[in-house]
Amino acid sequence: MEIGQELKAARQRLRDYLEASSYWTNSPLSDHMREAVFSYLEAGGKYLRPCLLLWCCRALGGDEEKALPAALAVEVFHTWTLVHDDIIDRDKVRRGRPTVHEKLRREGEKQFGTGEFAARYGQSMAMLAGDVQHGWAVCLLSEAAAGNGTNADRSSLALSLIKELEGETLVRLVEGEALDIQISQHPLSEVSDEEILRVIEGKTASLFSFAARAGVHLARGGYYPDDPLVKGVGEFGYHAGMGFQLQDDILGVVGEEKKLGKSVGADIREGKRTLPLVFSWKQAPA
């Protein structure tokens, strides 16, 4: 099966699992908040991170069906970071739809009229929606080890995966976001390639690497962070994430908005420091 077909099949399985989950079918959320929480998930997306987890699990002889909760957890975790990132960047379009905070801003205008409060309302409610997604990801990950190994092994694996995601991976992601904000205010002449790569490592590659390693742990039914194979697969995930983001930055300049699901040139308008922009500046005539 070709990679495109593999992605399509895996995405459908994840969508089916999502729509059967209690959060989807029996959520205690108000309709207003529920719509915000599920907005990006319903809009689709590439689902690369959860697919990477499933494929790494399968490559090691694991049961992909039992890995579905963990895979969906990775996608939901990724989604809350997008919601918060869009607020920080003031983006208005994501996956071909209004961003969560923009959609909620419009709802705020209907209820409270135009003005500053409507904008603050949209941002505040979107942050809360992201917080719900964050908690949901942890709940899903707590189910991740079901059916793998002994009861003690399953509990230990679930807790270890949660600790790694909420500890090292989250810290790396936040550090990448923080650096991204900081260097956006630096002159291009003062931004180094190394700084940009550190941003990509934190914001993108860290979660790719976690997804790949989690797939191996789930296949083995235990948590083995020092195993050379786990480390090797994690490195593969890291480089896959780096490559994906570099390509995404290029497409953000020369791609098609319909395929990207976001505005072409948005990174330049927002002052984002990407390698295509820095390389172009360095090559430009004085």
Two structure tokens written together for 191: 């931004």
Highest mean predicted confidence (pLDDT) among 15-29, 73-87, 107-121, 244-258? 73-87
How many distinct structural domains can be found in the chain? 1
Rounded CA-CA distance 78/172 in Å is 13
Band (pLDDT 50/70/90 cuts) for residue 286 is low
Judge contact between 217 and 143, C-beta under 8 A: no
Q: How many angstroms separate the CA atoms of 233 and 153, rounded?
A: 21
For residue 109, pLDDT beyond 90: yes
Handedness of CA 42, 20, 136, 205 (dihedral sign): negative
Put simply, whether the predicted model's pTM sits higher than 0.85 gets the answer yes
What value does the mean pLDDT take over residues 191-212? 97
pLDDT at 28 over 70: yes
**What letter represents residue 56's amino acid?**
C
The per-residue pLDDT for 261 is 65
Give the pLDDT score at 148. Answer: 54
Residue 104 CB neighbour total at 10 angstroms: 26
Q: What is the dihedral of CA 205, 183, 268, 75, to 10 degrees?
A: 30
At residue 196, the pLDDT reads 97
Mean pLDDT, the chain, rounded, equals 90
The boundaries of the domain holding residue 103 are 3-283
Residue with tokens 């399968």: 58
Strand partners, 98: 93
What percent of the chain lies above the pLDDT cut of 90?
A: 64
The predicted pLDDT at position 150 comes to: 57
Burial of 5 from C-beta contacts in 10 A (0-12 / 13-18 / 19+) = exposed
> Taking residues 263-271, what's their average pLDDT?
73
- Least confident range of 96-100, 113-117, 253-257: 253-257
In 3D, which of 50, 46, 73, 206 has the Cα closest to residue 133? 73
Total residues found in the chain within this entry? 286
* Coil, helix or strand at residue 93: strand
CATH of the domain at 132: 1.10.600.10
Q: Which two tokens mark 42? A: 């319903």
Residues 238-256 have pLDDT tens digits of: 999 999 999 999 988 887 7
- The more confident residue out of 214 and 43 is 214
Look at residue 20 in the predicted model and tell me its pLDDT.
86
pLDDT given at position 230: 97
**Structure tokens, 69:** 């909760």
20-34, 68-82, 151-165, range with the lowest pLDDT: 20-34
d(CA 274, CA 84): 20
Q: What is the DSSP letter of 63?
A: -
What does the pLDDT read at residue 88?
A: 94
158 phi/psi in degrees, rounded to 5: -60, -45
Q: Which of 42-51, 54-63, 270-279 has the highest mean pLDDT?
A: 54-63
CA distance 35 to 212: 30
Closest CA to 212 of 25, 57, 89: 57
Quick: pLDDT tens for 119-172. Answer: 999 999 999 999 999 999 999 999 875 655 556 577 889 999 999 999 999 999
